[in-house]
């Protein structure tokens, strides 16, 4: 038997396929990071849900006046709007104080 080792040839197309697979994996990872929910928005939505559930329980048991119920519901709407702003409103604005400036 021969002691010579045979080397495999790597074709250019196989290397291109590997390179494309790595690029696709990186693109998928960036896409997942972009689609993740903002932690501040998640916390606001959870807090708003708990607050409104507590408010609803108090209202059903008759322990809350209509004025306080309306004020609490208004606060819940404000919290919801803040969560939506943190999730969707902050991104994509280029002219803000922290964004790039045009000369």
Residue 89: which of 55, 41, 57 has the closest Cα?
Answer: 41
pLDDT in tens, 14-67: 788 888 888 878 877 777 677 778 888 999 999 999 999 999 999 999 999 999
In the predicted structure, residue 70 carries a pLDDT above the cut 50: yes
Would you say how long the chain is, in residues?
103
Domain ranges of the chain: 37-90
What pLDDT score does 1 carry? 57
What pLDDT score does 13 carry? 78
**More confident of the two residues 93 and 39:** 39
In the predicted structure, residue 73 carries a pLDDT above the cut 60: yes
**Secondary structure letter of residue 79 according to DSSP:** H
How far CA 95 is from CA of 19, 57, 89, in Å, comes to: 37, 44, 13
Residues 6+ apart with CB under 8 A from 82: 44
| Stated pTM of the model | 0.57
**More confident of the two residues 73 and 1:** 73
Whether the Cβ atoms of residue 82 and residue 45 lie closer than 8 Å to each other: no
What's the rounded Cα separation, in Å, for the pair 43 and 32? 20
What pLDDT score does 76 carry? 95
């Amino acid at each position: 038997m021969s002691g010579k080792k045979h080397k495999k040839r790597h074709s250019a197309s196989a290397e291109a396929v590997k390179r494309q697979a790595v690029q696709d994996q990186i693109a998928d990872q960036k896409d997942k990071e972009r689609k993740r929910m903002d932690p501040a928005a998640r916390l606001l939505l959870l807090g708003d849900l708990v607050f409104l559930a507590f408010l609803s329980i108090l209202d059903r048991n008759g322990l809350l006046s209509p004025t306080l119920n309306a004020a609490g519901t208004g606060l819940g709407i404000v919290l919801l709007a803040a969560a939506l702003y943190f999730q969707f409103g902050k991104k994509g604005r280029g002219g803000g104080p922290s964004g790039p400036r045009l000369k």
